[in-house]
Amino acid sequence: MSQLNEHLDYAKNLWESGHQHDHIELELTKRGLQREMVQEVIKHIKDLRYAKRRSRGMNLLTAGCVFLLLGFVCTLFVSYSDTTFHYTLYGFTMLGICLVMLGVADIMG
């Protein structure tokens, strides 16, 4: 089990330095790992990658919802004054929608 953890740490370091899954798989094969163990390590690396993307997606989704709420509140208050509310309505809303769409795209993969 400690050997698997050692190879997982090595693969994680390769992944964090920007290498793709194919290169990591090749490096692990060069180190003499069996095919099943290489596949297990690659599965763990892919899980880490997807967890990172889901986390980024949730942050973008949250920021988008905040901008949508901010646009609603600003539009509500500005609409009672004599100034135009188009910039607050469309600016915050478009930014919020874009962030929500990016967040959903990251979450869904």
Question: Tens digit of pLDDT for each residue in 4-61?
Answer: 778 888 888 888 888 888 888 888 888 888 888 888 888 888 888 899 999 999 999 9
Query: In the prediction, which pLDDT does 68 show?
Result: 94
At 57-102, the pLDDT tens digits run 999 999 999 999 999 988 888 878 877 777 778 888 999 999 999 9
Query: In the prediction, which pLDDT does 38 show?
Result: 83
The Cα 3–Cα 33 span in angstroms is: 10
The Cα 53–Cα 104 span in angstroms is: 10
Q: Which residues of 78-105 are buried (b: 16+ CB within 10 A; e: fewer)?
A: beeeeeebeebbeebbebbeebbebbee
3-state secondary structure 61-100: HHHHHHHHHHHHHHHHHHCCCCCCCHHHHHHHHHHHHHHH
Burial class of residue 64 (count of CB atoms within 10 Å of its CB; 0-12, 13-18, 19+): buried
Query: In the prediction, which pLDDT does 54 show?
Result: 94
Question: What confidence tier does 1 reach under pLDDT thresholds 50, 70, 90?
Answer: low
The Cα 78–Cα 69 span in angstroms is: 14
Question: What confidence tier does 103 reach under pLDDT thresholds 50, 70, 90?
Answer: very high
Question: Which sequence spans correspond to the domains of the chain?
Answer: 2-108
The answer to whether 100 and 64 have CB atoms below 8 angstroms apart is yes
Query: In the prediction, which pLDDT does 33 show?
Result: 82
Query: In the prediction, which pLDDT does 86 show?
Result: 78
